[in-house]
Structures are given as C-alpha cells and as structure tokens.
Amino acid sequence: APNPDAPVLTFAESQFDFGDIKPDEVVKHTFSFTNTGKTPLLIADATASCGCTTPSWTKEPVAPGAKGTLDVQFDSKGKQGLISKQVNVRANTQPGTTTIYIKGNVLTNQ
C-alpha cells in the first residue's frame, strides 16, 4: 500500500525550452522543486537520456515544505536542429521516478 507520509517531489516546471542554442554552446537550466510530502525527500539519482545532458542536484535530504534544485546542463557539440532530452529523477517518492524534460533548437554554423 502507498505510504501516505511519503515525500512528494513537486517541480515548479517539468519542462524547459532553451530556445535557440549556438553550435558548441553549453547551456544550463536550474529546475526548482519542493518536497510537498510529510517526510524528508532524498534524490538518489538523476540520469539523462544522452551523455550530452548532465544533471546535478541537491544531495542532502530536503525537509517537508523545503525547496531544492536540480541543474541540467546540455552540451550542443555535434548536435543540430531540434533536440529533446529527458532526465529521470529517482527519489524516495511514490512512484520512485519523476521525469523532467529539456528541449531546444541547436543552430547550424553559418
């Protein structure tokens, strides 16, 4: 049975659009989240769908009602056109995985 006191990972936004990204540019966005559950939230892992996308996150437990951040860095090297990447965030939540997305348009060298 689900634990009613489980932590809840609530992102302020689940997707971010970088818009136009220059070739070979590295861009970063900070997703902010709140633990809207009743017990401390701990992010175990965050994995991206591609090596070009690097997540980093708040490592210490996030108390109920407190906020944390998860940064997603994207390296456009070798990419062009529309990109869409997902980051799977594993935590002590129910369900255990929350997915957030980034997208953008990598310009070609003129």
Which pLDDT tens digit goes with each residue over 20-36? 999 999 999 999 999 99
pTM of the model: 0.93
Higher pLDDT, 4 or 41: 41
Q: What is the CATH number of domain 9-106?
A: 2.60.40.10
Domain residue ranges in the chain: 9-106
Tell me if 109 sits within 8 A of 62, measured CB to CB: no
Q: What's the mean pLDDT in 78-107? A: 97
Where does the pLDDT of residue 2 fall: very low under 50, low under 70, confident under 90, or very high at 90 and above? confident
State residue 49's pLDDT score: 87
Residue that has been written with the tokens 């818009």 in this structure: 19
What region does 44 belong to: left with phi over 0, alpha with psi -120 to 50, or beta?
Answer: alpha
Q: pLDDT band at 9, cuts 50/70/90?
A: very high
